Amino acid sequence: MKNYKLWNNVTGWLVCGIASLVYLLTAEPTTSWWDCGEYISTAYKLQVGHPPGAPTFQLIGRLASMFAGGDVMKVAYTINAMSAICSGLTILFLFWTITMFAKKVVVKNGNEMSLSQAIAVLGSGLVGALAYTFSDTFWFSAVEGEVYAMSSFFTAIVFWAILKWEAQADQKHSLRWLILISFLVGLAIGVHLLNLLTIPAIVYVYYFKKYPKTSKKGMFWAFLISIVLVVLILYVIVPYFVILAGAFEVFAVNSLGLPFNSGTIIYFLLLFGAIIGGIVWSHKKERPVTNAAILSVLFIIIGYSSFFLLIIRANANTPINENAPKDAVSMRAYLGREQYGERPLFYGEYYGAQPVDYKEGYQKYVKGEHRYEEAGKGISYVYDDKDCMLFPRMYSPSEDRNHPVYYKWWSGIKTDRKPTFAENIGFFVKYQLNYMYWRYFMWNFAGRQNDIQGEHFNHDGTRNYTDGHWITGIKFIDEMRLGPQDNLPDDLASNKAHNKLYALPLILGLVGLFFHFKRDKKDTFIVLLLFFMTGLAIIIYLNQPPIEPRERDYAYAGSFYAFAIWIGLGVLALYEWISKKLPHLPTAIATTVLCLALVPCIMAKEEWDDHDRSKKYAARDFSFNFLNSCDKNAILMTYGDNDTFPLWYLQEVEDQRTDVRILNYTLSGMSWYVEQLYNTLYDSKSLPFTLPKEFYGMSKDYIFVEERAQTFELKEMLQLMKDGNPRFKAMLQNGTEANLLPTNRFKMTLDIPKLVEKGVIPANIADSISPEITWEIKKNRLFRNELMFLDILVSNGFERPIYVMNPYYLRDVFPQINEYIQKEGFIYRLMPYKVRSASNLDKSFEVANNAVWGNLNDPEVYIDPISNNQSSMIRYQYAMLGQELIDAGRTDQAKIILDKGCFYFPDFNFQYDQSSFPYVAGYANIGEKQKALEILTEIVSLYEQKMRYYNQFRGSKASGFRMAKEEAMQVLQVAYNNAQLYEFKDLQKRIEPMLQQAQF
């Protein structure tokens, strides 16, 4: 076919346009949950995000944000649209990749393709690319401002580029493709490191092309070289590019007395001088391979140089300045992700092991006035060999006490003991491989049960068959694996992520895999290597703990990309098999159309509703309501990603409530973060401290606390510590000094007249308030964030309002916190007296009455798991506020609040469940008994459905619902009590048989 190249280009761009349009239509109009708020904020103002940074993403994101035309309300969408366009381009290069592989299969010995073959090849690309377009994991990342869409783009273009090199390898200037790949890899490091995993496949493409007669020895050396290249970039170029710069810098400043940054300048002059010298030498000596290797390193470095953005912006002291990597010295810790700790890969401890010693690592430095000051050394713990094992999969990645529990559940361990190696491997297979990879794989290509995130087990160790499994939609297969799938309760049946793909993408992909292997084993191996390295190899490297805060399928998008190549080749396989008996041209057309209908079209139909975010504003609106719960100039303490990043977005992008200071309690465990709290930020003054910021320095992770019977004024204690009183120093066994609080009993004396004058304490209760707050802590040391909180608490003296999202995290340092917090709106305010009412009713009513909740009452809006969890808590808070208003005799306001809760979180999106009983009581207590009956009836109906569903299960599967059935019966008992209390006699009669059956 003479016009094949034209049609290949046109069809590729057509598919790219379709994918881009789909993603632009379904993109979220504002920020999303998790990291998106941070990425959008740091891209918009070129700030410094969390390690190891994404400067390439930020630079391109900044360009994208300019299309908002100065309208801050459109900035988030422009960056989300950037992800959509990157994803559309990924589909473009996937199409061309599939057609390149397909063309190699049908075209042998330089023969020209027939029209039917060309249609089959283009059809392969069309089906494979569109199947990936509508795949669950890729679509999720394509519509939000996260790095994974751009990372997929770089993976796609790099893999396509090596295939272009292969096609032109015999031409004079073919090495330019390898140089381009090097530059793209360097740029991709500034997005995500996943791109490096394409290198083994790239090496084998080169090997197979240059050495057509392969051997076992050649295959081994190619593999070894590919691993060396990955290690060279990941563990040498990426870190040592900075480590050596830091070493030069410290030596030049501390030893030679040169000005700051002089060592870094000298280092780069020497580095680029050596590279240029190598290029000139290799050119003169006519050594093209050496020349290409040096050029490749140079272009990787050029791409990697995007990280200079982070140093430049860190020195500008941007509002978001995570880790503050202001020079090559501090950049080392930033790129090394040191704040996240280490995970053992090949040898290490099990989850119950206790360290027996520690060893010091490299010397850390902080920038002083004239030199770099020592700031401690990196520490790693040493474990006894008896507590270690090879290939440790069951270790303790944090102090989370739930991890050992989950390890035991997955491996069947009943006692506190070291797991056997077999149990360790069992956990690897059952959880890390099956649950954290193959489950996601099947979501994409077989079907998905729902989006409910579960750990697969009940609390008694039995399996749960209703949460987040893969399904096919083929009844006998699903029932064989998971039990009956009929009579699903409404909360499961209405889940928009219930996607039946009938395993058609999986089947077509397997057909393509076997066909590809039969026709071209080398190319099959290359795709298989890409599939493995971007999927199963990541599983081994990540060594994931047994409980995650969210699903992690986005990390394996590259692996699913590789499988989509085989989905495309499955079309070619069907064409070749069918065309042996039927006319070629009609077969090519019919095969393409049939495969389009059965794979991408079904995928689009099933998955559109749970990937369409075009009307959803949940993350933004929830956070806006939290900000509006704060009084002017407040301090708002947050803890995690979802209660921090959307708040950052609102302040940094939309310029909302910049008088409120966001204080992330988790991040304040880091010295760089506490230091930034001393700065004025927008309309928020620096936070009140007694101790200077030097007391929170890098080498001062904690201070010791001495148990003492006497109670001391905490602010005076901090002042004495600040003044250098020797009583506040402790000598450690290694001869170093540490800070010490010589008591664990504190008091805080209030300036009541001043607080009355400022309106913090109502004048009518001033005389009844104790002028002192006293408390005792049960810890022998305070970590940086704990000391910081106590410092701010007493230094502020309640003059600036302090709000907390969750008071639980502060109980270790302020045990009586529940007595001193009051609900205002949807967050808690610290009060200078023991509260008499759980809520400030006036403030809470005002905020709740005027709040908006992200269109979650629209039946067409997908309620994702995070929005669902957040909404359940907020709907419950509306009910509890309504009850408080009833108790205060404010029934008119109570009705307004109860109605708002039902309006914003309606039962068609949030089924009335056990958390809805307060609505029954609330409506009944204000005389709205019909509404109370309706809600109670809905609760009963849901748990009737649950019992009917659970009772279908038999044998071992039934044991997985024992606890769920007990919970359902408890709910029905509470419902019966409510029906009896409010005289709903017909509902009583409906419930009685179920309770009697349970008792029997």
Residues 769-799 pLDDT 10s:
899 999 999 888 899 999 999 999 999 999 9
Residue 465 amino acid letter: Y
713-720: average pLDDT: 91
836-851: average pLDDT: 92
φ, ψ for residue 855, nearest 5 deg: 65, 25
User: In 3-state terms, what secondary structure has residue 910?
Assistant: coil
205-218: average pLDDT: 91
* C-alpha closest to that of 242 among 322, 315, 307: 307
φ, ψ for residue 705, nearest 5 deg: -125, 130
Residues 688-709 pLDDT 10s:
999 998 888 866 788 888 888 8
* Highest mean pLDDT: which range of 364-368, 398-402, 625-629, 717-721: 625-629
Residues 124-163 pLDDT 10s:
999 999 999 999 999 999 999 999 999 999 999 999 999 9
Specify the DSSP class assigned to residue 321. Answer: B
Cα-Cα-Cα-Cα dihedral sign, residues 266, 267, 270, 273:
negative
Q: Are 647 and 805 spatial neighbours (Cβ–Cβ below 8 Å)?
A: no
| Angle, CA of 840, 844 and 845, to the nearest 5° | 120
- Distance separating alpha carbons of residues 872 and 789, to the nearest angstrom: 30
- Distance separating alpha carbons of residues 234 and 193, to the nearest angstrom: 8
Q: Would you place residue 482 in the very low, low, confident or very high pLDDT band (cuts 50, 70, 90)?
A: confident
Give the tokens for residue 557.
């998008």
Q: Are 548 and 129 spatial neighbours (Cβ–Cβ below 8 Å)?
A: no
pLDDT of residue 894 exceeding 70:
yes
- Distance separating alpha carbons of residues 645 and 356, to the nearest angstrom: 38
683 Cβ neighbours under 8 A, 6+ residues apart: 633, 658, 659
DSSP 84-127: HHHHHHHHHHHHHHHHHHHHHHH--TTPPPPHHHHHHHHHHHHH
Give the tokens for residue 993.
């048989």
Angle, helices 308-315 vs 328-335, to 10°: value is 120
Residues 267-319 pLDDT 10s:
999 999 999 999 999 988 888 888 888 999 999 999 999 999 999 999 999 99
811-828: average pLDDT: 93
33-60: average pLDDT: 94
Q: Would you place residue 374 in the very low, low, confident or very high pLDDT band (cuts 50, 70, 90)?
A: confident
372 Cβ neighbours under 8 A, 6+ residues apart: 249, 250, 253, 254, 329, 365, 366
The pLDDT value recorded for residue 998 is 60
* C-alpha closest to that of 526 among 162, 126, 165: 162
Specify the DSSP class assigned to residue 254. Answer: I
Is the bond preceding 52 in cis, omega lying within 30 degrees of 0? yes
User: What does the chain come to in residues?
Assistant: 1000
Inter-residue long-range contacts of 549-553, CB under 8 Å, 24+ positions, other chains counted: 549/640, 550/34, 550/453, 550/865, 550/866, 551/440, 551/453, 551/468, 552/436, 552/440, 553/136, 553/137, 553/140, 553/440, 553/443, 553/444
The pLDDT value recorded for residue 184 is 96
- Distance separating alpha carbons of residues 235 and 249, to the nearest angstrom: 21
Distances (CA, A) of 488 to 419, 466, 544: 38, 10, 32
Q: Are 120 and 95 spatial neighbours (Cβ–Cβ below 8 Å)?
A: no
The pLDDT value recorded for residue 283 is 86
| Residue 821: its H or E element | strand 821-824
Q: Would you place residue 13 in the very low, low, confident or very high pLDDT band (cuts 50, 70, 90)?
A: very high
* End-to-end CA gap in the chain: 76
Distances (CA, A) of 582 to 268, 515, 587: 66, 19, 7
236-251: average pLDDT: 89
pLDDT of residue 339 exceeding 50:
yes
The pLDDT value recorded for residue 484 is 85
Sheet with 827-830: list strands edge to edge. 661-664, 635-638, 802-804, 827-830, 821-824
Distances (CA, A) of 436 to 132, 161, 544: 20, 30, 8
- Distance separating alpha carbons of residues 370 and 363, to the nearest angstrom: 18
Percent of the chain at pLDDT > 70 equals: 97
* C-alpha closest to that of 433 among 557, 540, 510: 540
* C-alpha closest to that of 78 among 144, 32, 34: 144
Compare 613 and 735 and report the one with higher pLDDT.
613
The pLDDT value recorded for residue 63 is 96
Q: Would you place residue 734 in the very low, low, confident or very high pLDDT band (cuts 50, 70, 90)?
A: low
957-983: average pLDDT: 88
φ, ψ for residue 901, nearest 5 deg: -60, -40
Residue 358 amino acid letter: Y
- Distance separating alpha carbons of residues 317 and 319, to the nearest angstrom: 6
| Residue 500: its H or E element | strand 499-500
φ, ψ for residue 954, nearest 5 deg: -130, 160
Give the tokens for residue 571.
């079309």
* C-alpha closest to that of 303 among 203, 199, 173, 181: 181
User: Which alpha helices (DSSP H) does 653-777 contain, by range?
Assistant: 671-676, 714-722, 752-757
Q: What is the pTM of this model?
A: 0.93
92-112: average pLDDT: 91
The pLDDT value recorded for residue 405 is 82
The pLDDT value recorded for residue 455 is 58
The pLDDT value recorded for residue 1000 is 39
The pLDDT value recorded for residue 398 is 57
> What is the chain's mean pLDDT, rounded?
91
Residues 184-202 pLDDT 10s:
999 999 999 888 999 999 9
Residues 518-536 pLDDT 10s:
999 999 999 999 999 999 9
The pLDDT value recorded for residue 400 is 58
293 Cβ neighbours under 8 A, 6+ residues apart: none
The pLDDT value recorded for residue 175 is 86
Weakest-pLDDT range from 400-404, 628-632, 911-915? 400-404
- Distance separating alpha carbons of residues 753 and 759, to the nearest angstrom: 10
The DSSP bridge pattern shows strands 661-664 and 737-741 to be: unpaired
Residues 546-596 pLDDT 10s:
888 889 999 999 999 999 999 999 999 999 999 989 999 999 999 999 999
Q: Are 544 and 436 spatial neighbours (Cβ–Cβ below 8 Å)?
A: yes
Specify the DSSP class assigned to residue 229. Answer: H
Give the tokens for residue 198.
């394409």
| Residue 987: its H or E element | helix 985-999
- Distance separating alpha carbons of residues 532 and 778, to the nearest angstrom: 50
* C-alpha closest to that of 666 among 658, 657, 674: 674
Beta partners for 360?
379
